[in-house]
Amino acid sequence: MINIHEYRSLRDGPAVLFLGAIHGNETCGPVAINAVMKKLERGALALEKGSVIFVPVCNPGAYAKNKRYVDEDLNRVFAKSRVPKTYERTLANMLCPLVEHADVMIDLHSTGAKGRPTVFLDFPTKKNRLLAKEIGIDLAIAGWPELYTKDNRLVSNDTTVYANSEGKDCLLVECGQHADRSAPKIAERTILRVLAHYGLIRTRHTPTRASKKMRVITMTELFIKEHTDDLFSRKWKHLEVVKKGRIIGTRKSGGPIVLSEDRVMILPKYDPPVGKEWFYLGKYTE
């Protein structure tokens, strides 16, 4: 069962959807969403117009076990299936109509590796770029859809791909590392700033200013775990700059992975399944 909470103003306005725990081991979204709902329910926060839809836990089966997913990654199969054959595809069939109903979708995540908060600007429209700056995070990552289109070994039917296909404003926000105590605060701040940006709440409730300058990292490469003995040379951090000539790791099949130029490490996974994403590389483009 997925719990869905909707709050409506008496005045017309946009419908904003917030998703938490698409991955069951990412708890900052549920914590932040529940905190904002409590403020709405006790009158500490009031909607000026429109409506807000919260799904604190999108993957309850995985959340109950503190696992990323049950059968497969929900953020790779977020699309409608005529006959869903896995738990996550069944969830996607329930969640996709919520995206269709909304005008805006924000997907709240956290990372396994340590690293600063970032916004995934998968579809850098003028409206999405403005929204990303309003959140108050000064670093964005672009190029995810293009990377998966170019490297067709894996498919990424994720929340922002679906929302964009439905014509929605959309962002995925990485609020920090799973265990970082500040991650729920970043997630809550994100919710409040998004609601203020669309005029659903008054700006006095937002605890930080918009980013004056937002740097952008564009993703360039995807590395897949090919063997259990594919190993990192060290425990890389998310967004760590890796210098030219450094050995990132070693392949069981082909020796060291050496950089030919400076790159940024993105979302390194320390123990992913064989055949799935291991890490990404990118470079600063803005």
Higher pLDDT: 98 or 113? It is: 98
Amino acid 210: pLDDT: 62
Side by side, which strands form the sheet with 247-251? 231-232, 247-251, 255-258
pLDDT above 70 for 22: yes
* Number of residues written out for the chain: 286
Q: 102-119, pLDDT tens digit by residue?
A: 999 999 999 999 999 999
- How far apart are the C-alpha atoms of 35 and 184, rounded to whole Å? 9
pLDDT above 70 for 243: yes
Q: 32-48, pLDDT tens digit by residue?
A: 999 999 999 999 999 99
Q: Which fold has domain 5-205?
A: Aminopeptidase (3.40.630)
**Residue ranges per structural domain of the chain:** 5-205, 220-284
Q: 65-85, pLDDT tens digit by residue?
A: 999 999 999 999 999 999 999
Q: Please report which residue ranges of 153-218 form alpha helices under DSSP H.
A: 159-165, 183-197
- 3-state helix, strand and coil shares in percent for the chain, rounded to the nearest 5: 30, 25, 45
Amino acid 253: pLDDT: 86
Which residues in 130-159 are b (16+ Cβ under 10 Å) and which e?
ebbbbbbbbbbbbbbbebbeeeeeeebbbb
Q: Which of 200, 217, 212 minimizes the C-alpha distance to 267?
A: 217
Mean pLDDT, rounded, of the chain:
94
Confidence band for 213, pLDDT divided at 50, 70 and 90: confident
- How far apart are the C-alpha atoms of 67 and 269, rounded to whole Å? 14
Amino acid 155: pLDDT: 81
Strand partners, 215: 139
pLDDT above 70 for 207: no
Tell me the one-letter amino acid at 58: C
> Which residue's structure tokens are 């909607």?
47
To the nearest 10 degrees (0 to 180), the angle between helices 28-41 and 183-197 is 50
- How far apart are the C-alpha atoms of 218 and 142, rounded to whole Å? 5
Q: How many CB atoms lie within 10 A of CB 211?
A: 17
Residue 281 makes CB contacts below 8 A (sequence gap 6+) with 219, 220, 221, 223, 242, 259, 263, 264, 265, 266
- How far apart are the C-alpha atoms of 8 and 136, rounded to whole Å? 26
Amino acid 209: pLDDT: 63
Q: For the domain 220-284, what is the CATH code? A: 2.40.50.630
- How far apart are the C-alpha atoms of 58 and 17, rounded to whole Å? 12
Asked if residues 3 and 20 have their Cβ atoms less than 8 Å apart, the reply is no
